[in-house]
Structure 1
Amino acid sequence: MAKKLLDEQDRNILDGLAKDARISNRKIAADLGITEGTVRSRIKRMENEGQVRITAMTNIARLRNPTLAYIWVEVERSAQCDDVAKQLAEVPEIGFVGKMLGRFDILAITLVQDNAELARFLHSKITGLSGVRRTECSLGVNFVKHDYRMSRIVDA
């Protein structure tokens, strides 16, 4: 079965869910002038096709000592980028892995409590991976804006 591309109606439904994932299908339908069944079936299709996943997200501003660690990874050879990214994606503590353009090949993001925990994590989980040439870290210490809607799928 071919996956359907997200259309304007799908994006409007996702906009409603991005603001509040607990919003009822009835409320979304009323806001958009469509039926509740249409909203329900479109959400179900998008979930089944892997286009959207509805989940709870931790508000990092509410954690006691939140420190987001941005781990920039340079691979030994560009041909190893996919393999290293897959290895990083399998590490449970890492919440984001992306292949990048620029100075580094990969960005991995994790949440740590302090620098000592970050050092232990890097040495035990990252630097020993096959294909990793070097890493550099940046720590997020003051979050001016964190818009959870940025996590939604954007159909180009």
Structure 2
Amino acid sequence: MRKLDLLDFQILQILQVDARKSYTEMGHMLGVSEGTIRSRINRMIEDEIFQFIVHTDPVKVGLHVQAIIGMSTKLGHQEKVAEQLGKLRAVRFIGAFSGRNDLIIQAYFRSNEDLTAFVNEDLANIEGIASAEVSIELKQYKDSFSYVTADGVEDTAG
């Protein structure tokens, strides 16, 4: 994998704002050819720097309940539990963390009843989960995947 340069970061910033922008438009904006933009984007995709995805608004597609669920796992079971969680359709994110929870997941549901069934059926059937703490999102203030600026990664210290 090659190191990202200024042009790569500029391309990423443009894509974060509007991934539908044409390669020709980006080339004009950045003073390079459409072919340069195309090759840079293809290289970054091959190097798994980013991927094109559709980010839907969960509420607008009928998923009205978002839950963050922190779990403690039995010793030696974390990987197996994470693998099983990854197979569940409602689960959007899984991460291993330090602190009180070994794993934290983000999951979306149509209703509180669906969330309850998920906890009492799906999670209850996964061997190795010692406990789960469910937090339901009450209000969302920010949901962003944009953290790259034209000159690199955003400085979050200020």
Alpha-carbon displacement from aligned partner over 1:70-92 (angstroms, at most 9, x marks no partner):
11111111x32222222212222
107 and 6 in structure 1: CA distance in 2 versus 1, 3 angstrom threshold = farther
Query: TM-score, length-normalised on structure 1?
Result: 0.83
Q: Is the 8 A contact 2:63 2:108 kept in 1?
A: no
Q: Greater RCO between the two (CA within 8 Å, min separation 6)? A: 2
Q: Which runs of 5+ in 1 are unaligned?
A: none
Q: Is the 8 A contact 1:127 1:135 kept in 2?
A: no
Moved over 6 A (4+): none
Question: Structure 1 vs Structure 2: percent identity of aligned residues?
Answer: 28
Counterpart residue number, 1:123: 120
Cα RMSD of the aligned pairs, angstroms, is 2.3
Counterpart residue number, 2:5: 7
38 and 10 in structure 1: CA distance in 2 versus 1, 3 angstrom threshold = same
- How far is 1:67 from its partner? 1.9
- How far is 1:63 from its partner? 4.6
- Does residue 103 (structure 1) correspond to residue 100 (structure 2)? The answer is yes
90 and 65 in structure 1: CA distance in 2 versus 1, 3 angstrom threshold = closer
58 and 150 in structure 1: CA distance in 2 versus 1, 3 angstrom threshold = farther
Q: Is the 8 A contact 1:127 1:134 kept in 2?
A: no
Distance 1:138 1:43 in 2: 38
What pairs with 1:41-120 in structure 2 (closer than 5 Å)? 41-60=39-58, 62-63=60-61, 66-77=64-75, 79-120=76-117
Counterpart residue number, 1:143: 140
Q: Which runs of 5+ in 2 are unaligned?
A: 154-158
Give the structure with the larger helix fraction: 1
